[in-house]
A and B are shown apart, each in its own frame.
Chain A
Amino acid sequence: MTLPWVEPILASAICGFARAITGARARWQGCAPVAGPRVYYANHASHADFVLVWACLPHDLRERTRPVAGLDYWSKDAIRRFAADRLFRSVLIDRSHAAGKDDPIRRMAAALESGDALIVFPEGTRNTTDARLLPFKSGVYHLAVACPDVEFLPVWIENLSRVMPKGRFFPVPLLCTITIGAPLRLRAHEDKETFVARTRDALLALAPPEA
């Protein structure tokens, strides 16, 4: 039913809008923007998080980068399904399964093996507390075990929760920054707790000092 040329135009419009409202630019602090299978993992405080990360990637990387999102939220109505499937090519996962169950991990791994990059939010849910970062779920570790050669890049999203807090559906224009740090990889014999803590610390290290 949809016309094929509508989707890229719509996707570009959404990216342009997100960047115009937030003035966001990606700061690549620990690596260069290179295409290929990679996992961008970010802090999560707003609906719009993955849109902004996605919008800040260079165009050629954006086309091969897929956000991992909750099936329960994104399949609620036709518009969300269209956005998730056709615009962002999301990998939708069923959050009612416990993390680590092989189905979501296998689907993420399959996307990486086909050469796509992923955007994931290891906190598992949006952070509405005063803490900077919630504890990580163990999904990053299981994904790293499934794809040991893939690099994990920490992405700190600053301020977007003020632009679009949970429960609000129109944005207030405030400046945001996207900081991308140095890549991490699963070390030989590294256990779950160590890897999860290491990825979380690397992400926190990108956060600006608290005002």
Chain B
Amino acid sequence: MMPHAAQHQTLELFAGIGLVLAVASIAGALLKRAVAHGRPNDIIDNLNARVKAWWVMVILIGIAFMFGRAGVMLLFFFASFAALREFITLTYTRRSDHQALATSFYIILPLQYLLVWTEWYGLYSIFIPVYAFLLLPIVSVIAGDTKRFLERNAKVQWGLMVCVYCLSHVPALLTLRIPGYEDRNLLLIAFLVLVVQSSDVFQYIWGKLIGERKVAPDVSPSKTVGGLVGGVASATLLGTALWWITPFTVVEAALMAFLITVMGFFGGLVMSAIKRDRGVKDWGDLIEGHGGMLDRLDSVVFAAPVFFHVTRYWWT
């Protein structure tokens, strides 16, 4: 159970988010009626789909928070599962990879979360980069199929790093012991997810308003310089305004928000490059018409380990 002060802050935060989303939902419904007259309209429908996805995300995180540590661990365990499934689905594998894939899904993924759950930092911080990295090619080589061997192993390892290792650093935030911030670590997760995810929204809005020049035209047609600058600035401001839920001072919160927003931006860009290479627009269709788990989490995945380690180094 959370102590009184932390509970109070969490409730205030969720009430605030709920209010913003309620306003967004009403505005979306009004736009649909007044501007689109109830007919399909790409921009308005996309906006409403985004607001709906935010509701789903906030409600899921809210429920997880109610169950505390166990709830958050389970939520991100299933998110990792869904993300890894999307990643491997789009990856070239052969029949002989069956054993290595089964090992990834049924042993490495649960074990990583178990290690985070038991707060064994010394092992969960190296388990996938060291032990999975060595174990998987051994499992593969026993299967004996040498065709595109290095490529197949590298891709499975990469999928595990992104979908399991990096993502598990979100619930790992709960294991940090920050003096003066005891029992409030859930809010650290709220800070990370809110800032990084809102940055995606701000980039989209600024991109529509002042975006002309593309950041990386060969990778993503939707990422513009205007969107990047406006989005990072807005999300940094939001993060600064949320300093009261963090162990950081106002200036520190601003720097942290800036850091994770920039990492999030490049995360989105890297994952877009992979999608482009595979010739798909979305990783999956978990949320109908709204892409898969990885489409939602690409920026969080890149921000989480950096946020975790910077916080751990300077605040614990």
Interface, chain A (partner B; CB < 8 A):
23, 159, 162, 165, 168, 170, 172-175, 211
Contact = CB atoms under 8 A, between A and B. Distances in A.
Given A172-B101, A172-B105, A175-B86, A165 B286 contact: no
A23 B284 contact: yes
Given A23-B286, A165-B95, A175 B89 contact: yes
A172 B98 contact: yes
A172 B88 CA distance: 10
A173 B293 CA distance: 15
A200 B81 CA distance: 36
A211 B102 contact: no
A173 B278 contact: no
A62 B93 CA distance: 32
Interface string B105-147: 1000000000000000000000000000000000000000000
A162 B93 contact: yes
A211 B278 contact: yes
Identify which of B82, B85, B92 gathers the most chain A CB atoms within 10 Å of its CB: B85
Interface string B198-224: 000000000000000000000000000
B279 interface: yes
Contact of B85 (A165, A168, A170, A174): A174
Contacts of B81: 173
Contacts of A159: 89
Contacts of B82: 23
Nearest to A171: B102
17 contacts: A23-B85, A23-B286, A162-B93, A162-B95, A165-B98, A172-B88, A172-B98, A172-B101, A172-B105, A173-B81, A173-B85, A174-B85, A174-B101, A175-B86, A211-B92, A211-B278, A211-B279
Interface residues of B, number: 17
A174 B101 CA distance: 10
A71 B149 CA distance: 39
A159 B81 CA distance: 18
A67 B101 CA distance: 29
Nearest to A209: B279
A118 to B, nearest CB: 29
Interface in B61-108: 81-82, 85-86, 88-89, 92-93, 95, 98, 101-102, 105
Interface in B264-302: 278-279, 284, 286
A174 B292 CA distance: 13
Contacts of A168: 98
Nearest to B292: A175
B260 to A, nearest CB: 29
Nearest to A170: B102
Contacts of A173: 81, 85, 105
Given A168-B98, A170-B102, A211-B278, A175 B284 contact: yes
A175 B81 CA distance: 11
Contacts of B102: 170, 172
B100 to A, nearest CB: 9
Contact of B89 (A165, A170, A174): A174
Identify which of B89, B102, B284 gathers the most chain A CB atoms within 10 Å of its CB: B89
Contact of A175 (B85, B93, B98, B101): B85
B279 A174 contact: no
Contacts of B85: 23, 173-175
Given A168-B98, A170-B102, 14 more contacts: A23-B82, A23-B85, A23-B286, A162-B95, A165-B98, A172-B98, A172-B102, A172-B105, A173-B105, A174-B88, A174-B101, A175-B89, A211-B278, A211-B279
